């Protein structure tokens, strides 16, 4: 086995157990540099990836490598290495090399130990590629040119953002961008469900960049506002002004890009805005409720631009994080709410942090009226009054499967059956693809959901439909329509 084969089989196995965004972000551009004795050195594209792999995936990688090499390799070292033309080496031969290598290892390991993530502080020279184009003092407001730090809300900062398993990737990516705007990850694309902290995070990034360099011109904008501005500019013949406004910023934060779906003219204009900024090393951060590929009716060239930097997902917070968020709010506002009430709320409201906060505020308000301490009875009342539409729970594979079956006029039983009839195979593969893109499920889970199939079947289906969506207009249309229907149904 050579090093490339080994590495491909290791990451192939890891791919099964982690989300696609995580996989692409951390394992893209990695390779084995060399193997000495029982140690393998893994090349990674930058120190951020190095620190992250070290912290999060080292154990998993090591376990998998040990398994694949029958415990011949027992140590791994990460090293920044941007050389793309690595020649595969024979692992077996290298492994058998002399014992002198073993003696050298501890030292080698020490040298390449990456910085802990928490110590990745702002690099003062990080702005090299990004000169302010605008100074606050020169801004004479009154006209509608964009002011520095336009639309940033000072209440959204990193300090009041609780980091947990579901959002640590997005958080770390934002921090990295703050330290090196325009050069580290551009664009940064953050996606995740409603009320999970996307707006908070991008605003926090904007605020942090501004704090480090008050002269930078930072624009936060919702996709809706961009669209409206564009329409107004067209209507009033002010395209030039529109363009110079949007193209003169240093940092562009665009929230909820999924709303650009189907708006061809706006997309066209945004494409040019994006390119103009990107070419000048201006940082762009985009949020969405789903990954670029899964946004219906979004131009291919935009999808590929969005996917070209870094994609980070935010998934639902675990119980511990939900409790921590509530505790933080209580502390911040100096509220008096018993711990068991916080625990109860966190336990009951699982999918949306905005709802969680809303429930807490409501309980507090109800008790402020008569100056009493919130009790369990009120908490239960508030939770049960959250209407069914407000709190539907999250999208499931079952809902996706039934939407696909419905679209093709077949039954769910047929869709998950063993039959290999052509008019069942494609819908089945499409269902697998949508479960992957919408829910980020692992391949074994997808296989299970679709009638207990093997994970390789799920992998094959996702790759195949992923390709077809790019080439086949009919498949593309079907997939987009089904996804739209699923979301419309949930919103109604
Ligand atoms: P989204 O943009 O993803 O819909 P928001 O950023 O608006 O979600 O977050 C909803 C609310 O939840 C906001 O008040 C935000 O401050 C809060 N929130 C979300 N995630 C966190 C977190 N990890 N820690 C603290 N507050 C959070
Ligand atoms: Mg938002």
Atom 23 (ligand 1): residue with closest C-alpha?
162
Coil, helix or strand at residue 196: coil
Ligand closest in space to the Cα of 165? 1
For ligand 1, the distance from its centroid to the CA atom of residue 490, given in whole angstroms, is 21
CB 316 near ligand 1, within 6 Å: no
Q: How far is the CA of 94 from the centre of ligand 2 (A)?
A: 51
197 within ligand 1 shell (Cβ under 6 A):
yes
Phi-psi map region of 270: left, alpha, beta (phi>0 left; psi -120 to 50 alpha): alpha
d(CA 201, CA 174): 7
Distances 363 to 22, 326, 335, 345, 353 between C-alpha atoms, Å? 37, 12, 11, 10, 15
Q: Is the beta carbon of 329 within 6 A of some atom in ligand 1?
A: no
**Which of 164, 160, 137 is CA-nearest to residue 208?**
160
pLDDT digits (tens, 9 = 90+) for 184-205: 899 999 999 889 999 999 999 9
Q: Which atom of ligand 1 is nearest to the CA of 192?
A: 3
The pLDDT assigned to 3 comes to 85
Tokens of 289: 């409720």
Residue pair 307/148 in contact by the 8 Å Cβ criterion = no
| Strands, E assignment, 228-293 | 251-255, 283-288
Q: Which residue has its alpha carbon closest to ligand 1 atom 14?
A: 354
In order, the DSSP letters of 124-186 are: GGGGTT---S--GGG--BTBSSPPTTBT--TT--GGG----TTTHHHHHHHHHHHHSTTTSSS
Question: Which string of b and e fits 177-206 if b means at least 16 CB within 10 Å?
Answer: bbbbbbebbbbbbbbbbebbbbbbbbbbbb
**DSSP of 297-327, one letter per residue?**
T--HHHHHHHTTSEEEEE-PPPHHHHHHHHH
- Regarding the beta carbon of 206 and ligand 1, being less than 6 Å apart is answered no
Rounded to 5 degrees, what are φ and ψ at 229? -60, -40
Distance from C-alpha of 89 to C-alpha of 2, rounded to nearest angstrom: 5
Structure tokens at 213: 């360099």
Q: Is the pTM of this model over 0.85?
A: no
What mean pLDDT, rounded, does the chain reach? 84
pLDDT value, residue 392: 53
The ranges of the chain with pLDDT < 70 are 84, 91-149, 387-394, 490-492
Residue 200 Cβ < 6 Å to ligand 1: yes
What the block records as the tokens of 238 is 């002010």
Ligand 1: atom nearest CA of 255 is 2
Among 319, 354, 359, 390, residue to substitute to test ligand 1 (most atoms within 8 Å of Cβ)? 354
* Cα 331 to ligand 1 centroid, rounded to whole Å: 17
Does the C-beta of 263 come closer than 6 Å to ligand 1? Answer: no
Distance 297 CA to ligand 1 centre (A): 27
Q: Which atom of ligand 1 is nearest to the CA of 321?
A: 23
- Report how far ligand 1's centroid is from the alpha carbon of 351 (Å): 12
Cβ of residue 171 lying under 6 Å from some atom of ligand 1? no
At 244-293, the pLDDT tens digits run: 999 999 999 999 999 999 899 999 999 999 999 999 999 999 999 988 98
Give the nearest ligand 1 atom to 201 CA: 6
Tell me the β-bridge partners of 251. Answer: 218, 283
Asked whether the beta carbons of 326 and 345 are under 8 A apart, the reply is yes
Ligand 1 geometric centre to CA of 198 (Å) = 7
Peptide bond preceding 187 in cis form (omega within 30 of 0): yes
pLDDT of the residue at 26: 85
State whether residue 251 is helix, strand or coil.
strand
Strand, helix or coil at 364?
helix
- Ligand closest to 332 (CA) is 1
**Which candidate, 65, 299, 75, 290, places its Cα nearest to that of 193?**
290
CA atoms within 13 A on the CB side of 388: 2
- Give the residue among 159, 168, 130 at the shortest CA–CA distance from 22: 168
CA 205 to chain centre: 15
d(CA 129, CA 278): 11
Nearest-ligand number for the alpha carbon of 201: 1
User: For ligand 1, is residue 194 a contact (CB within 6 Å)?
Assistant: yes
């Amino acid at each position: 086995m050579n090093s490339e084969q080994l590495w491909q089989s290791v990451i192939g196995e890891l791919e099964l157990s982690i989300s696609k965004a995580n996989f692409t972000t951390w394992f893209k551009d990695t390779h084995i540099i060399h193997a000495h004795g029982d140690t393998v050195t893994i090349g990674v594209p930058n120190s951020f990836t190095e620190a992250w792999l070290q912290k999060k995936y080292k154990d998993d990688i090591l376990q998998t490598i040990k398994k694949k090499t029958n415990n011949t390799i027992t140590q791994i070292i990460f090293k920044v290495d941007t050389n793309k033309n690595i020649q595969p080496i024979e692992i077996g031969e290298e492994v058998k090399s002399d014992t002198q290598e073993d003696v050298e290892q501890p030292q080698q390991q020490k040298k390449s130990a990456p910085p802990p993530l928490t110590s990745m502080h702002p690099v003062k020279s990080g702005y090299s590629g990004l000169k302010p184009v605008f100074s606050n003092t020169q801004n004479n407001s009154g006209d509608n040119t964009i002011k520095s730090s336009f639309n940033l809300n000072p209440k959204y900062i990193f300090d009041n953002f609780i980091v947990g398993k579901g959002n640590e990737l997005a958080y770390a990516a934002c921090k990295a961008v703050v330290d090196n705007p325009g050069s580290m990850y551009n664009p940064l694309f953050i996606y995740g469900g409603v009320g999970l902290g996307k707006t908070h995070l991008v605003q926090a990034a904007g605020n942090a960049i501004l704090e480090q360099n008050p002269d930078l011109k930072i624009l936060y904008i919702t996709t809706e506002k961009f669209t409206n501005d564009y329409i107004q500019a067209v209507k009033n013949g002010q395209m030039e002004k529109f363009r110079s406004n949007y193209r003169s910023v240093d940092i562009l934060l665009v929230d909820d890009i999924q709303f650009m779906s189907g708006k061809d003219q706006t997309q066209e204009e945004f494409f040019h805005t994006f390119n103009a900024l990107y070419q000048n090393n201006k940082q762009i951060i985009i949020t969405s409720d789903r990954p670029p590929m899964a946004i219906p009716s979004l131009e291919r060239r935009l999808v590929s631009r969005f996917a070209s930097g870094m994609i980070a997902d935010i998934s639902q917070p675990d119980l511990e994080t939900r409790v921590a968020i509530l505790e933080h709010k209580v502390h911040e506002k100096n509220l008096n709410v018993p711990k068991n009430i916080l625990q109860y709320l966190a336990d009951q409201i699982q999918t949306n942090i905005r709802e969680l906060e809303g429930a807490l505020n409501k309980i507090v308000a109800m008790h402020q009226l008569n100056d009493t301490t919130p009790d369990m009875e009120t908490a239960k009342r508030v939770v049960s009054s959250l209407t069914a539409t407000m709190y539907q729970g999250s999208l499931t594979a079952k809902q996706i499967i039934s939407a696909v079956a419905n679209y093709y006029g077949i039954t769910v039983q047929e869709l998950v059956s063993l039959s290999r009839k052509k008019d069942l195979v494609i819908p089945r593969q499409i269902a697998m693809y949508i479960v992957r893109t919408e829910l980020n499920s692992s391949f074994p889970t997808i296989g299970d959901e679709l009638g207990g199939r093997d994970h390789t079947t799920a992998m094959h289906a996702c790759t195949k439909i992923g390709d077809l969506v790019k080439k086949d207009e009919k498949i593309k249309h079907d997939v987009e329509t089904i996804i739209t229907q699923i979301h419309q149904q949930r919103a109604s």
